[in-house]
Amino acid sequence: MAAGPIIGIDLGTTNSVVAFADERGPRVLGADDVTGGVVPSFARFGPSGEIEAIGHAAKSSAVEFADRTIHSAKRMMGRSMRDVAPDLETLAFSVEEGAHDTARFRVGEALISPQEVSAQILVELRRRAEQALGEAVERAVITVPAYFDDAQRQATRDAGRLAGLDVVRIVNEPTAAALAYGIGVRAAEEQRIVVFDLGGGTFDVSILLLSPGENAAGAEFFEVLSTAGDTRLGGDDVDRLIMRLLIDEMSGQFGTQLELSSLASEARQALRTFSEAAKVRLSEDAEAPVRIDLGDGRVFERALTRADLESLANDWIEQAMRCCDRALADAKLGVKDIDRVIMVGGSTRMPIVRDRVRAFFGVEPYTALDPDLVVALGAAVQASIVGGLDRSRLLLDVIPLSLGVETQGAAVAKMIMRNQMTPARATEMFTTSVDGQTSIKLHVLQGEREMVEDCRSLGEFHLSGLPPMPAGVPQLEVEFLVDANGVLNVSAFERRSGKRAALQVAPSHGLSREEVERMEEESFAHARDDMQRHRIVDLVTNSRLDIKWTREQLNRVGGKLASDVRTAIEDSLGALQKLIEQADTDWSSVDPGGFQQAKEALDRSTIRMHEISIAESLRADEEK
């Protein structure tokens, strides 16, 4: 068995984080001043499917390489094409159907599975961890949303394997958030905890029950009582509301009807940047000035106040609170039963969110830890429990959806019920319906509905090679076992013949065992790539593009810029160019942080140029 440290990983839809806990407590690994330890869950692939860039390097060039920069892979993991169909229209890359009805990303000639994309993110996190800890890392605890079903959990494990990590435990994100706060240490009585997770694009609320330890070790039990949420509710919506407000007011002021949808994509992106910046500023200040100078004597100026934002975002936050109502109803609890509320996700920094949550639950929400890091910190705490460092806490999770098998007439017989604690085991007897039948097919499903078509298919199992017997005589015992990770194992044996069948697993939406093994081999062959060199190469490529793009913009609108602004842009371009030349001569002498800083300086110096881009786009719109 592998030894060495066990790391905790928050493998997020938009951002991922790695952390580690020891006697000193949990801490984020690989954090620096520029990135704060957050790795965007973005991976850029080359035309033949080879990895080109991961994390920040991939995200910052996502506009230029939109068709081969993959993000949001987590939404597709362990899911079928039908499941992911609603997500597809907003994605700039193409998703196709692969084997077993899985969703795959098409990049040039290559079809890439979501697990492979996630594995690339995990490789980067593992690299950071190894660099920070100074030793090899082979084991990890990875978090998943509480509502993830078996196929999605299994896909997460597969991604870990592909990254060369033994995933020793899968833990629910809200449980990890509670652990990060050290909640429950020597708890004297039961507590009900709400985890309110509002990010950029999604909202999840979970209610956990913490029971004080009753076993010899004084361990505690976390149980997920209910989860609710909205996969299309997040901070991005608020950005859009602000963008609409600004565009409407500009229309009013300039006497032309402007539409968000008709803005050129650069102008829209620039407006989005201004809107998000104003929103973030309003979390600290009462007022955020917005000034967009169209350069033709027309200036749009507006002080956005916190009150403006609150009236804009009122319906938005109400939508989140309705999910809280649902979660409470599902858990058969009232607000008065809630002892603590934990805030997770960047949007919980907004005062309006904190105020509404406080008013709704009647308790002061926990906000001391960085909401972007809470889950990874908790995963690290869990890792230390698994590793034996911390024996004071034991985790128990529940099965989020019932598990069953298909029976006559496409109905579903439930074997393990929803909300049962893991590990859980159930056995059931089956027989044949036709004389001389030598094989039996078992279709495993997950869901609360009664009919096969309304449940989620997890896979089909074939027990073959039975001796021919009259119908109804064979006694086939099937066992379902959900282990501590919430992962399902199915086994079967025929009692009369004593035949223990080698079950052939044909996952409906996952990867086949052969595929995982093949990918694993491939990933080992590449895992030793020199990631640092890779990173520098990415940074150089991206910087070249930044320079090219900025020069094109300068050629177009540079004449309209004040000379000191142009000089500042030239200076930052020069600094970036110098780093590129240094890397070309000797890549090992370059500090990646230097590139990030030079890129930030470039971003700052080009704000005015973006404004002019917006203005040009608006003018073009007006002339139409």
Which residues are catalytically annotated? 10, 74, 173, 197
Give the list of residues 6+ apart from residue 498 with CB closer than 8 angstroms, or none: none
Binding of ligand AMP at residue 200 (CB under 6 A)? yes
| Residue of the chain from 8, 10, 14, 43 that contacts ligand AMP (CB under 6 A) | 14
Residue 15 is a binding residue for ligand AMP (CB under 6 A): yes
Nearer to ligand AMP, 304 or 478 (CB): 304
Residue 13 C-beta: closest distance to ligand AMP, Å: 7
Per CB under 6 A, the list member of 22, 87, 236, 339 interacting with ligand AMP is 236
346 binds ligand AMP per the rule CB under 6 A: yes
The answer to whether 29 and 19 have CB atoms below 8 angstroms apart is yes
- Taking the complex as a whole, the smallest distance from the CB of residue 11 to ligand AMP amounts, in Å, to 13
Residue 8 near ligand AMP by CB under 6 A: no
Helix (H) or strand (E) holding 430, with range, is strand 424-430
CB of 280 to ligand AMP, least distance (A): 4
- Cα(380)–Cα(25) distance, integer angstroms: 9
Our finding on whether 280 is near ligand AMP (CB under 6 A) is: yes
Q: Per CB under 6 A, which region of 91-99, 182-190, 279-287, 433-441 contacts ligand AMP? A: 279-287
- The closest of 423, 392, 341 to 220, measured between CA atoms, is 392
173: nearest Cα among 394, 424, 391, 377: 377
Give the Cα separation of 550 and 133 in Å (integer): 39
Exposed / middle / buried, residue 584 (Cβ in 10 Å: 0-12, 13-18, 19+): exposed
Structure tokens at 339: 């002892």
Q: How far is the CB of 137 from ligand AMP (least distance, A)?
A: 24
**Which of positions 282-341 make contact with ligand AMP (CB under 6 A)?**
283
Taking the complex as a whole, the smallest distance from the CB of residue 234 to ligand AMP amounts, in Å, to 6
Q: How many chain residues touch ligand AMP (CB under 6 A)?
A: 17
State how far the Cα of 278 lies from the Cα of 239, in Å rounded to an integer.
Answer: 9
> At its nearest, how many Å lie between ligand AMP and the CB of residue 374?
10
- Which one of 39, 70, 341, 350 is in contact with ligand AMP (CB under 6 A)? 350
Q: CA of 125: how far to CAs of 49, 161, 373, 391, in Å?
A: 21, 14, 14, 26
Taking CB under 6 A as the criterion, which residues in 76-95 touch ligand AMP? none
Q: Report the distance separating Cα 459 and Cα 444, nearest Å.
A: 6
Q: How far is the CB of 351 from ligand AMP (least distance, A)?
A: 9
Rounded distance, CA 600 to CA 605, Å? 9
Over the window 359 to 398, marking each residue x when it contacts ligand AMP by CB under 6 A and - when it does not, the resulting string is: -------------x--------------------------
For residue 398, the cross-strand partners are: 421
CA distance 437 to 541: 62
Q: Quick one: 494 exposed, middle or buried, by C-beta within 10 A (0-12, 13-18, 19+)?
A: buried
Max Cα separation, the chain? 93
3-state secondary structure 524-563: HHHHCCCHHHHHHHHHHHHHHHHHHHHHHHHHHHHHHCCH
- Closer by beta carbon to ligand AMP, 70 or else 415: 70
Nearer to ligand AMP, 29 or 376 (CB): 376
Burial of 33 (0-12, 13-18, 19+ CB in 10 A): exposed
- Only segment of 81-89, 276-284, 449-457, 527-535 that touches ligand AMP (CB under 6 A): 276-284
Among 347, 432, 523, 542, the residue binding ligand AMP under the rule CB under 6 A is: 347
Stretch that binds ligand AMP, among 102-110, 273-281, 505-513, 546-554 (CB under 6 A): 273-281
Q: Which is nearer to ligand AMP, 36 or 218 (CB)?
A: 36
Which among 44, 48, 49, 39 is positioned nearest to 17, based on CA atoms?
A: 39
Among residues 349, 354, 534, 608, the one that binds ligand AMP under rule CB under 6 A:
349
CB of 235 to ligand AMP, least distance (A): 2
**Window 180-199: residues binding ligand AMP (CB under 6 A):** 199
CB of 210 to ligand AMP, least distance (A): 24
241 binds ligand AMP (CB under 6 A): no
Match 């005015």 to its residue by tokens: 608
**Closest CB 520 distance from ligand AMP, rounded Å:** 30
Which of 75, 279, 356, 414 is the binder for ligand AMP (CB under 6 A)? 279
Distance in Å from the first CA to the final CA of the chain: 69
Per-residue CA distances from 205 to 106, 145, 198, 380 (Å):
33, 10, 8, 21
The smaller minimum CB distance to ligand AMP, of residues 199 and 510, is found at 199
Residue 400, preceding peptide bond in cis (omega within 30° of 0)? no
Pick the closer one to ligand AMP by CB: 200 or 365.
Answer: 200
For ligand AMP, which is the closer residue by CB, 83 or 370?
370
Q: How far is CA 230 from CA 203, 207, 236, 328, 423, in A?
A: 5, 15, 13, 15, 28
Determine the Cα–Cα distance for residues 54 and 44; give it in Å rounded to an integer: 6
- Which of residues 138 and 372 has its CB atom nearest to ligand AMP in the complex? 372
Q: Check residue 174 for interaction with ligand AMP (CB under 6 A).
A: no
* Shortest distance (Å) from residue 23 CB to ligand AMP: 29
Please check whether residue 111 is in contact with residue 104, taking contact to mean a CB–CB distance below 8 angstroms.
yes
Question: Residues interacting with ligand AMP, by CB under 6 A?
Answer: 14-15, 199-200, 234-236, 276, 279-280, 283, 345-347, 349-350, 372
